[in-house]
């Protein structure tokens, strides 16, 4: 079976857990050394201590190497470390069998949280829970065998088991969430690339259509007409159109700096540039190319139609998050709604050019006598990566296990403390207050605990530690509720209150140190009582901060990947479409344009060929679904009779193929009787008729 692919987020989470595992193992080793100095582990053979030191070094090495390990290597190293810990547990059996003066199971072997985390990385949730069961079972067996099944041992093992359960659930959920983030990002990247490729194809078609309109159709129309036009001017225009067709696919869509390109374009048209930008514009190359081409056409339209003496200017404003470019003139203006649908200049060369770019927008504002304003805009498309879907069922199950282990472990510790001290009211009172604090947090109606609820919770948690330490002898076992309170602070941090959790920890540590010193306890005992709360809460908060930063960084990397995929798909699809269009135009148009560019006088048949080709190209670039038989043949015959035929596809929702075939047959029959002019049109979806045809001024509709 092939190994599952590990994404960026999951790999980062695995590395983070490995580093945390090493920190926990190192802290356990430090405490173990303190216990050895107290002679708590007297009699252990040197070879066993050497194995324990080697296992600790392996844990630390795993964390140090994790940032540079790949998924397979990280899993293998974690597997080696977890197996080494299991072998260390097994090695204690022969170690204790050769000794006579050992009287309890060593504390360091029961601190299994690091091994559970390593097993989670290597073998998944099943491996982690198995490692926890192995450690708990071995601890109980060894305590029954060599001793240590007393208050300190029970409290220590209950806390160790709970720590391991928390590691299984929380770290497991971190991996699940990171895996979901990778899956969501992969889906978004694939969909972004697909959609971007389609938009790239549409933009390329729009660009080719604009070239045909701006250069090719104008040249063919002039060549086919009887207007007295200087041969050299027509030849120059034909040469320019032919060159633009040939270089269509070779143009670099990137514009190094949009403002500079706009200024150069404005200067060529004799218009000033008004620059209101704030800093560098971070414009997508495709968007910059589309805006620049649209501005060029808008300036040319203004020069042709705004009237003599009209003043024009180009305005640009924006920043890293948006750009707006306006071409403004104070000329004679026009009524945009009155422009015929068969006029492609504004629609294809300006508006569609920019609208086809993701994030692009374009509009024209004009009125007779009030000038014209062409507004082009672009904003980066909104990030599409969404947070991964959580797995509430598995998380709820894990939290239920933690709750059961917490209640069972603390109840067992309270009973053991009562039996050891002969007093029931203090341990049972502490247990009830701890459970009440847990309920206060559990019943919070929102994921983030409110400040009043958090305050009540902290009062209960710090209060139980203060009251408990004052009521019982100061020792590790009798202070079992201190670590239990720390677990509740971890839960508070998980409810997105890490600062409050740290404040609670500071209060608990202050109480422990104050009561410990007041009772005459030694530094080692105070360190043992305060050490586990400090480690638990600090590691939990550090993990939360690290996970948050990791997710933020990973989301940014995924966003960059999606953007790279989007640009690559756009570029590939656009270039492929442009290449196809350029090849087709080269076959059909360039030979005729080359003939015109040579300056030779055209024959009547060549003029008719220019007229026919001009009509065909107009149909193809604006008629869409209407370009089909028998309509194409009917249009060709009508044009041969001298009829002016215009076909338009304005359908916002294209009809199905049978409907288009029926429309084409109906429209072909109507055209047969035309004498001077025909306009056939597919209507937008909100119109009553599917299509209309106007023959010599009379309009009829097709209703299906």
pLDDT per residue over 543-575, tens digit each?
888 878 877 877 787 777 877 887 788 778 877
User: Tell me: the pLDDT tens digits for 299-323?
Assistant: 888 888 888 888 999 999 988 778 8
Among 121, 149, 177, residue at a domain's last position? 149
Weakest-pLDDT range from 37-41, 378-382, 484-488: 37-41
DSSP code of residue 389: P
Q: Per the domain annotation, does 104 fall within a domain?
A: yes
In angstroms, the CA 6 to CA 121 distance is: 12
Q: What is the number of domains present in the chain? A: 2
In angstroms, the CA 49 to CA 36 distance is: 10
Secondary structure of 209-277 as H, E, C letters = HHHHHHHHHHHHHHHHCCCCCCHHHHHHHHHHHHHHHHCHHHCCCCCCCHHHHHHHHHHHCCCCEEEEE
Query: What is each CA distance from 24 to 171, 315, 531, in whole angstroms?
Result: 14, 61, 12
Q: Is a pLDDT exceeding 90 seen at residue 667?
A: yes
Neighbours of 70 (CB within 10 A): 10
Q: Is a pLDDT exceeding 90 seen at residue 366?
A: no
Q: Per the domain annotation, does 119 fall within a domain?
A: yes
Query: What is each CA distance from 504 to 443, 508, 536, in whole angstroms?
Result: 20, 6, 13
- 8 A C-beta contact, residue 308 and residue 284: no
Q: Per the domain annotation, does 689 fall within a domain?
A: yes
Q: Per the domain annotation, does 59 fall within a domain?
A: yes
**Average of per-residue pLDDT across 605-630:** 77
Q: Per the domain annotation, does 75 fall within a domain?
A: yes
Among 149, 170, 185, residue at a domain's last position? 149
Among 103, 127, 149, residue at a domain's last position? 149
Joined tokens for residue 125: 């949730």
Residue predicted with more confidence, 245 or 121: 121
Unique residue bearing structure tokens 């495709």: 286
DSSP code of residue 250: G
Q: Percentage of the chain with pLDDT > 70?
A: 88
User: Tell me: the pLDDT tens digits for 368-397?
Assistant: 888 889 999 988 776 544 444 444 455 566
Radius of gyration of the chain (CA): 39
**Average of per-residue pLDDT across 33-50:** 67
Axis crossing angle, helix 451-471 with helix 425-442, rounded to the nearest 10: 170
| Cα atoms found within 13 Å of the Cα of residue 154, Cβ hemisphere only | 21
Unique residue bearing structure tokens 């560019």: 597
Q: Calculate the average pLDDT of the chain.
A: 82
| Cα atoms found within 13 Å of the Cα of residue 631, Cβ hemisphere only | 27
Q: Per the domain annotation, does 556 fall within a domain?
A: no
User: Tell me: the pLDDT tens digits for 396-423?
Assistant: 666 777 888 888 988 998 998 888 888 8
Q: Per the domain annotation, does 684 fall within a domain?
A: yes
Residue predicted with more confidence, 687 or 231: 687
Q: Strand, coil or helix: what is 679?
A: strand
Q: Per the domain annotation, does 413 fall within a domain?
A: no
Query: What is each CA distance from 569 to 293, 457, 475, in whole angstroms?
Result: 21, 54, 67
Q: Which domain holds residue 671?
A: 623-702
Q: Strand, coil or helix: what is 40?
A: coil
What is the reported pLDDT for 255? 46
């Amino acid at each position: 079976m092939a190994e599952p692919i590990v994404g960026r987020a999951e790999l980062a989470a695995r590395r983070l857990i490995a580093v945390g595992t090493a920190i926990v193992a190192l802290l356990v080793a430090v405490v173990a050394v303190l216990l050895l100095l107290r002679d708590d582990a007297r009699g252990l053979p040197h070879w066993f201590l050497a194995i324990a030191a080697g296992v600790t070094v392996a844990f630390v090495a795993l964390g140090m190497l994790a940032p540079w390990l790949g998924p397979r290597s990280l899993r293998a190293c974690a597997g080696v470390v977890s197996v080494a810990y299991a072998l260390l547990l097994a090695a204690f059996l022969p170690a204790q069998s050769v000794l006579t003066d050992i009287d309890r199971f060593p504390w360091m072997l029961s601190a299994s949280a690091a091994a559970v985390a390593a097993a989670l990385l290597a073998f998944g949730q099943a491996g982690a829970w198995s490692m926890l069961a192995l450690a708990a079972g071995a601890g109980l067996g060894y305590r029954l065998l060599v001793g240590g099944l007393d208050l300190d041992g029970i409290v220590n093992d209950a806390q160790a088991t709970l720590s391991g359960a928390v590691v299984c659930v929380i770290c497991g959920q971190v991996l699940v969430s990171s895996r979901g983030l990778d899956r969501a990002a992969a889906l978004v990247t694939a969909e972004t690339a697909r959609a971007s490729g389609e938009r790239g194809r549409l933009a390329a078609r729009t660009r080719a259509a604009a070239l045909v309109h701006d250069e090719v159709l104008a040249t063919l129309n002039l060549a086919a007409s009887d207007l007295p036009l200087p041969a050299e001017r027509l030849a120059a225009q034909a040469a320019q159109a032919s060159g633009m067709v040939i270089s269509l696919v070779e143009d670099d869509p990137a514009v190094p700096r949009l403002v500079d390109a706009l200024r150069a374009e404005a200067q060529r048209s004799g218009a000033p540039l008004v620059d209101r930008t704030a800093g560098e514009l971070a414009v997508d190359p495709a968007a910059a190319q589309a805006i620049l081409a649209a501005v060029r056409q808008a300036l040319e339209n203004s020069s042709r139609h705004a009237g003599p003496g009209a003043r024009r200017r180009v305005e640009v404003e924006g920043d890293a998050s948006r750009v707006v470019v306006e071409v403004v003139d104070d000329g004679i203006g026009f009524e945009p709604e009155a422009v015929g649908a068969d006029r492609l200049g504004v629609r294809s060369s300006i508006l569609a050019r920019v609208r086809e770019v993701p994030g692009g927008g374009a509009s024209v504002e004009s009125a007779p006598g009030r000038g014209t304003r062409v507004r082009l805009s672009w904003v980066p498309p909104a990030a599409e990566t969404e947070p991964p879907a959580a797995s509430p069922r598995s998380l709820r199950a894990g939290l239920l296990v933690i709750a059961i282990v917490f209640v069972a472990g603390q109840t067992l510790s309270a009973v053991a403390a009562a039996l050891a001290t002969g007093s029931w009211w203090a341990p049972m009172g502490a247990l009830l207050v701890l459970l009440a604090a847990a309920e206060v947090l559990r019943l919070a109606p929102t994921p983030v605990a409110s400040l009043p609820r958090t305050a009540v919770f902290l009062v209960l948690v710090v209060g139980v530690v203060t009251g408990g330490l004052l009521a019982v002898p100061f020792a590790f076992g009798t202070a079992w509720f201190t670590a239990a309170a720390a677990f509740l602070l971890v839960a508070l941090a998980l409810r997105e209150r890490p600062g409050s959790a740290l404040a609670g920890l500071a209060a608990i540590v202050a109480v422990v140190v104050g009561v410990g010193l007041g009772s005459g306890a030694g530094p080692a005992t105070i360190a043992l009582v305060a050490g586990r709360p400090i480690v638990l809460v600090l590691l939990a908060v550090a993990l939360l901060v690290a996970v948050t930063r990791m997710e933020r960084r990973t989301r940014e990397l995924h966003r960059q990947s999606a953007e790279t995929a989007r640009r690559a798909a756009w570029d590939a699809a656009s270039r492929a479409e442009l290449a196809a269009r350029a090849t087709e135009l080269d076959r059909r148009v360039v030979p005729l344009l080359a003939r015109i560019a040579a300056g030779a006088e055209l024959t009547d048949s060549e003029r008719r060929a220019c007229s026919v080709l001009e009509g065909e190209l107009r149909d193809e670039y604006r008629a869409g679904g209407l370009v089909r038989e028998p309509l194409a043949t009917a249009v060709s015959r009508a044009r041969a009779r001298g009829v002016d035929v215009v076909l338009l596809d304005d359908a916002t929702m294209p009809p199905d193929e049978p409907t288009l075939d029926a429309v084409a047959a109906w429209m072909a029959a109507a055209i047969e009787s035309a004498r001077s002019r025909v306009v056939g049109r597919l209507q937008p979806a909100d119109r009553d008729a599917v299509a209309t045809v106007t023959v010599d001024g009379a309009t009829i509709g097709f209703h299906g």
